[in-house]
Copies of this chain bind each other. A is one copy, B any other.
Amino acid sequence: MPQAGEFQIIEKFFTYQTFGAWKSQGVGDDCAIIDTGAGRLAVTCDMMAMGTHFLPDADPENVGYKALAVNLSDLAAAGAIPRAFFLSIGLPRRDDGWLADFSRGLMGLARESGCALLGGDTTRTPEVNGRHAPVTISITAMGDLPAGMGLTRAGAKPGDEIWVSGTVGDAYAALKCRWGEWTVMPDLEPALFARMDRPTPRVALGQAIIGAASACADISDGLLADLGHILERSGVSAEIDWERLPISTALKSMTIPRQHEAALTGGDDYELIFTAPVSARDRIYEAALRTGTPVTCIGRVVPRTSRAVTVRAGDGMLVELTKVGFDHFDHEEG
């Protein structure tokens, strides 16, 4: 739900003693996990703005798809079954062509995932210097969880293995290529760009590893940043073997420093990263096979040390990284 650097705002201004009849866990998690008395729900909420989260010339069908996909990914990280979502959309003006394409992308994924649009609000975006601000989209998505179940970022234990789904770093590499900063062979470009424009929320996998995984997050801020959230909430550290990281053919075709940057710090992949005891290994593979989702064991949880994550290359040397994750308000005073 929140991206890494917004934590200070949420902690400082919107954290308070709990009250009310509904009991929630998972504050600071991908989803709130709520016991309503009648049942257990997972709820998540994401806001996207043109210019901040997607480019003004982005295909509106992809924008619609991705707006829901990132929320489904949060539900996946909790192991929830997506059921319903609510859409608030701020528009600078009514643009029927844009809306039709946006709606097609959004509703296509909604139908595919059984997550129904049950309400919403549309409004005119505010004016700045005589011009209306670009499109702003906020989605709240809700899912079902079995009573007493649900994955959170807390629960990783020393000795657990660390897993990721799919491949990592592709969305970041795609953005770099689209910006013209990096290049990739033309025949690899469409698949790479699709990873940024139409990420696959790992909804079936999330449900399948409930009860087997000890902690889970989706990779929205970057592998190290999101693993970092798990480690912090669980009070542990981790060792990652760089050689085991699942890297796509497109990213493999780039230099090692670029691979490091994309796979370890690049966000927007919407893969799941999760921990599980060694004894659950067969259940993890079985869940992967059953849901048709590739999973890879990339390291292990260790007792807490001064370093949250250690990444070792094949030669045993440490991989050093400066930039970790992404924060909209990173460079501002608190």
Residues on A lying within 8 angstroms of B by beta carbon are 1-3, 6, 9-10, 12-14, 16, 18-22, 24, 26-27, 31-32, 34, 36-41, 43-53, 81, 83-84, 86-91, 93-94, 96, 99-100, 102-103, 107, 111, 114-129, 131-134, 136, 138, 140, 142, 144, 328-329, 332-334
Number of copies: 2
Please determine whether A94 and B9 come into contact, CB atoms closer than 8 angstroms: yes
Q: Once the chains are docked, how many angstroms separate the CA of A47 from the CA of B125?
A: 10
Q: Once the chains are docked, how many angstroms separate the CA of A39 from the CA of B126?
A: 38
Are A51 and B126 CB-contacts (below 8 A) given A21-B114, A22-B84, A24-B84? yes
Q: Which residues from B are CB-within-8-Å of A36?
A: 38-39, 41, 83, 144
Q: Once the chains are docked, how many angstroms separate the CA of A47 from the CA of B2?
A: 18
Q: Which residues from B are CB-within-8-Å of A34?
A: 84, 118
Please determine whether B120 and A86 come into contact, CB atoms closer than 8 angstroms: no
Please determine whether A52 and B125 come into contact, CB atoms closer than 8 angstroms: yes
Q: Once the chains are docked, how many angstroms separate the CA of A86 from the CA of B30?
A: 13
Please determine whether B38 and A120 come into contact, CB atoms closer than 8 angstroms: no
Are A329 and B47 CB-contacts (below 8 A) given A99-B9, A100-B13, A116-B22? no
Q: Which residues from B are CB-within-8-Å of A84?
A: 20, 22, 24, 32, 34, 43
Instruction: List 17 A-B residue pairs with CB atoms under 8 Å apart, sorted by A's residue number.
Output: A1-B119, A2-B120, A9-B94, A9-B122, A12-B99, A16-B107, A20-B83, A20-B116, A32-B84, A37-B39, A39-B39, A43-B119, A125-B133, A126-B133, A126-B134, A128-B133, A133-B136
